[in-house]
């Protein structure tokens, strides 16, 4: 359930997509690492908040207790701590596993790829954070997925807002996770969940509502820095100063047009400590696709300065910020677009089919194809002793092989090969 096989055409499409993403990561100077699909269970405990119940565990068959990785961020932090690395720009493209109830029609699965880029190290504030946002902008632009917006918030701003609204600190995580639903629910629904299920006071909820429905750019940051309550809160002020600097850098990158400072963005994972962000595709008004793919989050990330320290025996911290591109949804969109275009993807790269026009020439085909392979040429032949020429040419047309190298009795006698262009039917003897 929630997994799938990829047929050859899907693999080709996916590989194109991954190549674009990895190309962007390499453009930003990242090196690749690879970690095992399983981690010690204890490594994953306490990192994912409420979502931890979705972790796949391996059976206890003796030895260590293991689980499948839930994301690539925790393994990266574990890798840094284990190897005492304090400075690294890395990417990793790999599958992760979540025992979710997946809506596979919307491109959500239990086994899915993540493409992560992270910058670890103690640096001047917001420079790496701005680069992560630039990367999201580049990937989504490169892939021509249509309009998008990157929502940005800051955990300290959010915590500051909750504090000045009178939410007790013990309820910060609960309140944040409800506020985070503002992208899918109306404020009335969010408010009623805060007051009802979560037991927050109606007054506090209303005060929170005044803030978390705000979104904007540098102007909003300036406005909040002047806000009588927020400007008095140490957390909020620190977060807003970060945001101001971030927007300054994003302006230099020329990408603020797609960035929205959104006070409702919370993101579920426990480990974020600073800037957080999420990219969302926007459905175009004149989009008339037959089965519209639900438009949702296609990338997300943020700063997690405490995670590496959790894996270090001495608790040494390594500040990190990173982005994860969720390629499955993008893949669904590209797959649908390809289908609509009617383009047929070639699933092999064969350059030439070695063919014979008469019987009893298998030996000639085997000798010639062997020569071609040894010369690095991508070549196929039919696995029949005496195939009909028509069948052989038909195979070329079906699979997109552009050339047929034909050896008949005459060609053998003359020491030549007849090379046929399958599309034009032109032939040359070489």
Binding-site annotation, residues: 71-73, 98, 114, 118, 267, 271-272
Q: Mask 377-396, x = binds a copy of itself (CB under 8 A)?
A: xxxx--xxx-----------
User: Which residues, in sequence order, are bridge partners of residue 427?
Assistant: 420
All residues at 6 or more sequence positions from 68 whose CB lies less than 8 Å from its CB, including other chains: 37, 38, 39, 55, 56, 57, 58, 96, 97
Our finding on whether 5 is near a copy of itself (CB under 8 A) is yes
Which positions from 327 through 366 interact with a copy of itself, judged by CB under 8 A? 347-350, 362-363, 366
Our finding on whether 127 is near a copy of itself (CB under 8 A) is yes
- CA torsion angle for 206, 212, 218, 220 (degrees, to 10)? -10
Q: Which of these ranges, 10-18, 224-232, 256-264, 413-421, lies near a copy of itself under the rule CB under 8 A? A: 10-18
Phi, psi of 40, deg, nearest 5: -60, 135
428 and 416 in contact (C-beta within 8 Å)?
Answer: no
DSSP alpha helices (H): ranges in 98-233? 127-142, 155-164, 172-179, 187-195, 202-212, 218-226
Phi, psi of 305, deg, nearest 5: -85, -15
Backbone conformation region of residue 304, classed left if phi is above 0, alpha if psi is from -120 to 50, else beta? beta
Our finding on whether 22 is near a copy of itself (CB under 8 A) is no
Q: Mask 77-116, x = binds a copy of itself (CB under 8 A)?
A: --x--xx-----xx----x-x-x-----------x-----
Our finding on whether 16 is near a copy of itself (CB under 8 A) is no
Our finding on whether 283 is near a copy of itself (CB under 8 A) is no
Distance CA 6, CA 18 (A): 14
Distance CA 376, CA 315 (A): 53
Residue 208 CB, shortest distance to a copy of itself, in Å, is 34
Our finding on whether 254 is near a copy of itself (CB under 8 A) is yes
Binding-site residue positions for L-histidine:
71-73, 98, 114, 118, 267, 271-272
Q: Which of 46, 105, 123, 414 binds a copy of itself (CB under 8 A)?
A: 123
Residue 51 CB, shortest distance to a copy of itself, in Å, is 14
Q: Which of 72, 130, 175, 295 binds a copy of itself (CB under 8 A)?
A: 130
Determine the Cα angle at 260 with ends 51 and 120, to 5°. 55
Our finding on whether 427 is near a copy of itself (CB under 8 A) is no
Q: How many residues lie near a copy of itself (CB under 8 A)?
A: 76
Our finding on whether 289 is near a copy of itself (CB under 8 A) is no
């Amino acid at each position: 359930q929630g997994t799938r096989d990829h047929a050859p055409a899907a693999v080709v499409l996916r590989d194109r997509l991954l190549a674009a993403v990895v190309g962007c990561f390499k453009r930003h100077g990242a090196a690749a690492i690879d970690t095992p699909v399983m981690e010690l269970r204890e490594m994953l405990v306490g990192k994912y908040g409420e979502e931890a119940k979705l972790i796949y565990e391996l059976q206890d068959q003796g030895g260590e207790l293991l689980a499948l990785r839930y994301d690539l961020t925790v393994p990266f932090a574990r890798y840094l701590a284990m190897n005492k690395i304090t400075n690294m720009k890395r990417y990793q493209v790999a599958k992760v596993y979540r025992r979710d109830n997946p809506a596979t029609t919307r491109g959500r699965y239990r086994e899915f790829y993540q493409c992560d880029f992270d910058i670890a190290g103690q640096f001047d504030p917001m420079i790496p954070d701005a680069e992560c946002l630039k990367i999201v902008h580049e990937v989504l632009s490169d892939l021509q997925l249509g309009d998008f917006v990157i929502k940005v918030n800051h955990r300290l701003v959010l915590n500051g807002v909750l504090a000045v609204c009178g939410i007790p600190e013990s309820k910060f995580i609960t309140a944040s996770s409800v506020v985070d639903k503002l992208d899918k629910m109306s404020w009335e629904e969010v408010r009623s969940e805060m007051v009802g299920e979560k037991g927050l006071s109606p007054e506090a909820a209303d005060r929170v509502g005044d803030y978390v429905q705000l979104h904007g750019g540098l102007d909003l940051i300036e406005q909040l820095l002047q806000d009588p309550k927020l400007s008095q809160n140490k957390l909020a002020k620190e977060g807003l100063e970060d945001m101001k600097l971030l927007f300054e850098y994003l302006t230099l990158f020329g990408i603020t047009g797609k960035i929205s400072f959104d006070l409702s963005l919370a993101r579920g994972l426990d480990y974020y400590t600073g800037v957080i962000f999420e990219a969302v595709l926007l459905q175009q008004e004149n989009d008339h696709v037959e089965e519209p793919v639900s438009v949702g989050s296609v990338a997300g990330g943020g700063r997690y300065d405490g995670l590496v320290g959790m894996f270090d025996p001495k608790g040494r911290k390594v500040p990190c910020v990173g982005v994860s591109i969720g390629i499955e949804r993008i893949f669904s969109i590209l797959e649908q677009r390809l289908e609509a275009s009617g383009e047929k993807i070639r699933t092999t790269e064969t350059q030439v089919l070695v063919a014979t026009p008469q019987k009893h020439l298998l030996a000639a085909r085997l000798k010639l194809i062997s020569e071609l392979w040894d010369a690095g040429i991508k070549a196929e032949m039919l696995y029949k002793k005496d195939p009909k020429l028509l069948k052989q040419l038909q195979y070329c047309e079906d699979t997109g092989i552009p050339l047929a190298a034909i050896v008949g009795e005459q060609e053998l006698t003359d020491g030549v090969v007849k090379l046929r262009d399958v599309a034009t039917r032109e032939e040359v003897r070489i």
